[in-house]
Chains A and B, each alone.
Chain A
């Protein structure tokens, strides 16, 4: 399987999408807040909040209503000022705290002095008129109460009300003015507020300052009221009026002084005088609501938005859903608490709309990014090759079915792979164990479980495999485990168990797709039968060797012993035959060992081996007057090999050369090195071979029948082949024969001992 170099982290596109969503949402918030686009929505929230919160009716405010009944009893409006004076006189007798007379007395009348006298009896506040625009280009005109009333009043106030876009009265400006003058709202004046001149500072036009939201305590009729006619008729007890703020104003349907308010809802409208009464109530109790500055609204919305945006990056989708829910509940709650206890109105709609906008937007963009990433990954997976043929290829162009198809294909392949793996491992004839780095078993097969059962070790997933491995002992008696800290990434050894079994253990590091080691794969093969066969074979060979040699040795002993009685010539011939039989037996056993014996490789100097072989044959050569010369450099020529097998191979070559040499001839053995190869050549001056004989020799070499080439040369061929070397032969009739063995040079430094 091809390794992907990509990390499994989310695609970079996801971050780009996030940034785009963040920018769009932030711009939206700016637009909503600065463009006051959510004002209507905020009104609805505010109105409902107001209606829901409510307040007990004030017991220190009383409205004297000029209602329908009063008009019926007294006559049509406007009434003579003497009536008003009479009412004020009645009130004065009951000693109210203050009176706000929400009736305009701006046009002069004959009864003004009478009324002014009545006004003076109690602190009475009178309204004025402000006309915008004023005459002759003035920004505004004012009309104060007529004549003596102006001076008689405790204070002159304005009674302007402010309509919102939806023609509802929510806000009142406590101070209004311009060009150095300003007037308080009637209720503000009655509540004892002083002008702070903020409206007076305006150079041009009429300026409205100190806005408050009127916290209506209830619907129309919330403030207790008495009818004007009842007051005049003396039907109102004085205690009812004493020490109360009294507001007098029109409530009759025909007088036009009524307005829609947030709380008037069902019942319709609220009289201007009651609005003043409700505002007065709020101002007296310090419960007037201040509208929060626009910047606050902006900050609140941005804070909520960016909390959500950071959440998108850091939290899981599920946690994000919870966060959104919490924010959507918390924002109005925060507004409500601020409204209720801080008397500040911070509209939550912009923040809410921001959240409701960004949440699905991000959901969409995120899904889009992940979806295209997934499609890409699945396509790449689909394109990768593995051992399994595709049942079908996904060709759909439509996104929905394409992804489903690719996913289905990928899942099919995973199933195939899993099935393949479990089959391959499960049916493996050898015990296989996959463990974590700590030796905990992750996977095994039937053979593995059988082996563990046999040796009394646990084999369930999660079991400690070291318990099983402890049952095995290497040839030197030590334990064997890859779980040591410095264990190489692959290894193996032959081990034995206490019950006499022989096992070949191999292990290799298990790696994940990123090539990091995550555990070990350990294979244990039962080689008991193989080992036993090997042992039996070796025993048979030894017995054969001994039993074949013993009678020959005895024959030779007999011939050399006392009183043989055998004629000398006969004795020599028998001795020769016995020796030949011994040699044959030796060659046969040697060859059998050369083919099967486990090689014992070590770095060997071919100079030494050649000298050893030549010296061993010295008596034979000397007996035939043949000189064996070893020519080589003084430098060591190292190969990695089995000392005994290689020495005997060279010995066989020299022995062969002696056989084909005549007395007085010389045999030259040379060791040389070139291009990483080491050559040992044995050259005689004997009869030699012609080309046919040479070709014949090699043909028989290749075919490998033992007769014809001789056991000795077959041995050489076997040994050289097992060392990965080559053997060559050059020969010419009368010029002698040269056999050359070529072996690979060892990597060991020959001078390491110095």
Chain B
């Protein structure tokens, strides 16, 4: 396979199509990811080593790079750092790796990766994560008066959430937290990010504040897999809200 060769999206290309670069030294993995993306209608370019990817990044534009962490020449994390240092607008990145320890996840996200997915991965999960990155990094759509996520509808004006048409009353902070999580679906949000967005810069907050609020909105809204959503703690980092519909379909 020639590095950087575009695979023609023969399947159904749509308006949501992205140009995606994939880096992996394992040919089977590279083929699996590429196939998954093409089937979903994206334009995909595969790179077996970091050197060729970097030289391509210097002269081409991508919507997303999917990076393996452990590479023989330059690790995925190092490529993220290279992009941050050498590009005006770094390409959004997703780390796809076998490294599954919490320390690695936190290190990867802290290095600037937009998301972190552990191998092996189900095609649906991979696509959901890619779409989530695209939604928040791609061209912004105007946020309507009410936002709907599955059975949940946010009513920002009334600071209220309705579930299947039934209204659930939240406190101001709870609504703010729920809205932040919904609007950043699939994105790992660090504790400090959530605290700053919802509470502002307040250093005297008890440490359990965030956990207690997460616990309450999960209970009040029923953010459980049965309803198609899962609130996942990212250890030593923060939380991520995940929609499971993609998997179901």
Known interface pairs A552-B120, A582-B120, A644-B235; A636-B26 also in contact (CB < 8 Å): no
Q: Which of B124-149 contact A (CB under 8 A)?
A: none
Q: Is A528 an interface residue (CB 8 A)?
A: no
Distance, CA A480 to CA B233, complexed state (A): 33
Distance, CA A615 to CA B120, complexed state (A): 19
Do B207 and A554 have beta carbons less than 8 Å apart? no
Q: A562-B35, A643-B233 are in contact. List 17 more A-B contacts (CB 8 A).
A: A546-B99, A549-B98, A553-B26, A556-B120, A557-B31, A557-B120, A560-B32, A561-B32, A603-B207, A608-B211, A611-B224, A615-B225, A618-B224, A619-B225, A619-B244, A753-B205, A753-B209
Q: How many residues of B contact A (CB 8 A)?
A: 42
**Chain A min CB distance to B224 (Å):** 6
**Closest residue of chain A to B223, judged by CB?**
A615
- Which residue in B29, B32, B104, B212 is a CB contact (below 8 Å) of A636? B212
Do A634 and B219 have beta carbons less than 8 Å apart? yes
Distance, CA A622 to CA B225, complexed state (A): 10
Do B28 and A557 have beta carbons less than 8 Å apart? yes
Distance, CA A636 to CA B218, complexed state (A): 13
Q: Which of B100-124 contact A (CB under 8 A)?
A: 100-102, 104, 119-120, 123
Q: Is A158 an interface residue (CB 8 A)?
A: no
Binding site for A on B (CB under 8 A): 26, 28-29, 31-33, 35-36, 70, 97-102, 104, 119-120, 123, 205-209, 211-215, 218-219, 224-226, 230-233, 235-236, 244, 247
Distance, CA A752 to CA B98, complexed state (A): 40
Residue in A554, A622, A643 whose Cβ sees the most chain B Cβ within 10 Å: A554
**Closest residue of chain A to B101, judged by CB?**
A542
Residue-wise interface mask of A (636-673) relative to B, using a CB-CB cutoff of 8 A (1 in contact, 0 not): 10100001100100000000000000000000000000
Residue-wise interface mask of A (729-754) relative to B, using a CB-CB cutoff of 8 A (1 in contact, 0 not): 00000000000000000001010111
CB pairs A–B below 8 angstroms (29 shown): A545-B98, A545-B99, A550-B119, A552-B120, A553-B98, A554-B26, A557-B28, A557-B32, A560-B32, A561-B28, A562-B31, A562-B35, A586-B100, A603-B207, A608-B215, A611-B218, A611-B224, A616-B230, A616-B232, A618-B224, A618-B226, A622-B225, A636-B215, A638-B208, A647-B233, A750-B208, A750-B212, A753-B209, A753-B213
Residue-wise interface mask of A (607-627) relative to B, using a CB-CB cutoff of 8 A (1 in contact, 0 not): 110011001101100100000
Q: Is A602 an interface residue (CB 8 A)?
A: yes
Q: Is A47 an interface residue (CB 8 A)?
A: no
**Chain A min CB distance to B11 (Å):** 12
**Closest residue of chain B to A622, judged by CB?**
B225
Do B232 and A612 have beta carbons less than 8 Å apart? yes
Contacts of A545 on B, CB cut-off 8 Å?
98-101
Distance, CA A552 to CA B214, complexed state (A): 35
Distance, CA A636 to CA B216, complexed state (A): 10
**Closest residue of chain B to A634, judged by CB?**
B219
Do A615 and B98 have beta carbons less than 8 Å apart? no
Q: How many residues of A contact B (CB 8 A)?
A: 45
Q: Is A605 an interface residue (CB 8 A)?
A: yes
Distance, CA A80 to CA B111, complexed state (A): 150
- Which residue in B33, B102, B225 is a CB contact (below 8 Å) of A618? B225
Do B211 and A605 have beta carbons less than 8 Å apart? yes
**Chain B min CB distance to A242 (Å):** 118
Contacts of B247 on A, CB cut-off 8 Å?
619
Distance, CA A556 to CA B121, complexed state (A): 9
Q: Is A356 an interface residue (CB 8 A)?
A: no
**Closest residue of chain A to B229, judged by CB?**
A615
**Chain B min CB distance to A558 (Å):** 4
Distance, CA A612 to CA B100, complexed state (A): 18
Contacts of B70 on A, CB cut-off 8 Å?
546, 550
Contacts of B99 on A, CB cut-off 8 Å?
542, 545-546
Do B236 and A549 have beta carbons less than 8 Å apart? no
**Closest residue of chain A to B123, judged by CB?**
A560
Do B212 and A558 have beta carbons less than 8 Å apart? no
Q: Is A600 an interface residue (CB 8 A)?
A: yes
- Which residue in A578, A582, A603 is a CB contact (below 8 Å) of B208? A603
Residue-wise interface mask of A (502-526) relative to B, using a CB-CB cutoff of 8 A (1 in contact, 0 not): 0000000000000000000000000
**Chain A min CB distance to B121 (Å):** 8
Q: Which of A679-699 contact B (CB under 8 A)?
A: none
Distance, CA A382 to CA B127, complexed state (A): 84
Contacts of A562 on B, CB cut-off 8 Å?
31, 35
**Closest residue of chain B to A642, judged by CB?**
B235
Distance, CA A619 to CA B215, complexed state (A): 21
Do B29 and A553 have beta carbons less than 8 Å apart? yes
Known interface pairs A546-B98, A552-B120; A618-B32 also in contact (CB < 8 Å): no
Contacts of B104 on A, CB cut-off 8 Å?
542
**Chain A min CB distance to B68 (Å):** 9
Known interface pairs A542-B99, A546-B70, A752-B206; A558-B32 also in contact (CB < 8 Å): yes
Known interface pairs A553-B120, A582-B120, A586-B100; A558-B28 also in contact (CB < 8 Å): yes
Contacts of A754 on B, CB cut-off 8 Å?
212
Distance, CA A600 to CA B102, complexed state (A): 12
